[in-house]
Amino acid sequence: MSNYKAPLADMRFVMFDLLRLDAQYARIDGGANATRDVVDAILDEAAKFSETVLAPLNAPGDEQGCTLDKATGAVTTPAGFRDAYKQYVEGGWSGLTAPEAYGGQHLPESIGAPLKEMLDSANLSWGNFPLLSHGATEALRLHGEEWQRVAFLKPIVEGRWTGTMCLTEPHCGSDLGLLKTRAEPDSDGTYRITGTKIFITAGEHDLTENIVHLVLARLPDAPAGVKGISLFIVPKVKVDRSGAMAARNAVSCGAIEHKMGIHASVTCVMNFDGAEGYLIGAPNKGLNAMFTMMNTARLAVGIQGLGLIERAYQGSLAYARERLQGRALSGAKFPDKPADPLIVHPDIRRMLLTQKAFAEGGRALAYYAASLVDLVERAPTPDERKHADELLSFIIPITKALLTEIANECAYHAVQIFGGHGYIHETGMEQIARDARITSIYEGTTGIQALDLLGRKVMQTQGVGLKHFLEEIGAFCHANIANTSVQEFVAPLATSAKQWADLTQEIGKRAAANPDEVGVCAVDYLFCSGYIALAYFWARAVAAADASAQPAQFKQAKLATARFYYARLLPRTLSHAANLRANADTLLAMPDSQFG
């Protein structure tokens, strides 16, 4: 089975050399305690927990899975999961970035990002259990009443309870305007929630004493569509306004989904049979609160993709160094051995470099997004918070979709590098491939992220977030035009940025005449955007490495990987640009009847 070693050197490089987060922490709310020695200690302990506690449970958990007792509705998690969760809570990880007023440590979100990456690399299924507690924390913090924050938020922050998001129903997936779950007001100020939700991550389990479901439902007088959706707090065990637990609520797990991957993560069908709940936020404004959770979850899923890219790369690299297979075309590189290791072969190196370029470039993108979360919430001025919010809204769909799609690609490369051994269970590569597949689907498919990016975050805002990001790229290019360490990347980066701006304008003009153009162009636009964003971070990485005290070998590896990225991965934008400029009729003209 594959082992996992947290890439602490590159994590620290991205945080402190590339993004200069130490300077950001010095001026934001809650950053004073995030001194370098504190952050280093957090990273070291998170690595230890991930490597020694979670990683050994990854393969056994996948084999064992979760089990449902149909008579009681109780779910049992794989052996070792409960103890791992206990250690997670005892280590203070559940409240790392949560508000101090509710038991958290109030550290910046960008410190939570590497923790999450490590958890997901080590054991993606286990990482799903505390995943949505973070989103529930944000929804309660921003939209809940004070008594709700005390009664529900504090136990979640302490890790005694976990949270869920209950959106999808059997007849509707992402089209939430179709949902049918009902909420009937009761005389005591509570509501009775009735309906069925599906695909609920960690909807039932044995890790905590209570589970707080945040459920979308309709009030009796609600208008049709998304304008008639409200959000309710529905705990597994009833909780009164003082926070005291009472009797079991009328909510139960009806089934566990039989999934392609993440077998050790329980995905539930949840039945609400007149369950007691509390309204959170204003009536018919539930989508506002839910999108608070959704944006948090989308960034988190992007980091899941990053974690799997890293895990696939580590397994591939170890195997390519050890496995003897054939001879190099230019002659034996290891004549004392019966064959050369796989790593000498150009196609193996192509796949390894692709994984490495995406892992390290993706890490910069994901941590950058997390640093924007810090600024949105904690920057000292309203203007800076507004600027960061506009940038974050733009970068989240790129981060979520790109990193999860790349995770699937890198898992594919891992299986290829292992050959037949990658296709069997023992090496762990096929588990990565199975686990990665869901990441580009849940919390919004790649197509949904693409429509969000192009339709909402670009067209509806006149491209405000894109303008901010292009300004960053322009400022970097201008500042480094004479920097010999990075000069070779400045011109192609500037050209790509101009291409990005030009494509956006072209699509905007076509969409004004035909709104279908947004749907036709969206996915190619997202990939174009993502590859150019990674090019920006790779250029920054080379400049930061050159200016840093990193070892010479580290700097040389950054330069070589950046050259590979610019020569062999960034040109993918040309294909996507060609698709973007193709006539929409190539997709839309054929009648439905001809698809038979």
Assigned token pair, 282: 């204003």
How many CB atoms sit inside 10 A of residue 590's CB? 10
What sections of 514-564 are H helices per DSSP? 516-547, 552-564
The position carrying tokens 């300004």 is 471
CB 356 within 8 A of CB 569: no
Residue in 382, 431, 441 with CA at minimum distance from that of residue 411:
431
Residue in 434, 309, 315, 264 with CA at minimum distance from that of residue 3:
315
Assigned token pair, 128: 């799903």
CB 266 within 8 A of CB 197: no
Residue 184 has phi, psi (to 5 degrees) of -100, 125
- Distance, in Å, from the CA atom of 103 to the CA atom of 154, rounded to the nearest integer, reads 6
CB 94 within 8 A of CB 154: no
Q: b/e for 37-71, b at 16 or more Cβ within 10 A?
A: eebeebbeebbebbbebbbbbbbebbebbbebeee
Q: Which residues pair with 234 in a beta bridge?
A: 213
- Distance, in Å, from the CA atom of 536 to the CA atom of 79, rounded to the nearest integer, reads 44
- Distance, in Å, from the CA atom of 384 to the CA atom of 403, rounded to the nearest integer, reads 27
Could you give the 3-state DSSP secondary structure of residue 159? coil
Number of alpha carbons in the 13 Å side-chain half-sphere of residue 89: 19
How many CB atoms sit inside 10 A of residue 553's CB? 8
Q: Going by C-beta distance under 8 Å and a sequence separation of 6 or more, which residues neighbour residue 51?
A: 4, 5, 6, 122
- Distance, in Å, from the CA atom of 385 to the CA atom of 379, rounded to the nearest integer, reads 6
Q: Which residues pair with 251 in a beta bridge?
A: 272
Catalytically annotated residue among 117, 310, 443, 517: 443
The position carrying tokens 């959770």 is 293
What's the DSSP call for residue 169? B
Q: Would residue 146 show up in a list of annotated catalytic residues for this protein?
A: no
Number of alpha carbons in the 13 Å side-chain half-sphere of residue 323: 19
CB 22 within 8 A of CB 36: yes
Q: Going by C-beta distance under 8 Å and a sequence separation of 6 or more, which residues neighbour residue 358?
A: 309, 406, 409, 410, 534, 569
Q: Which active-site residues does the annotation give?
A: 443
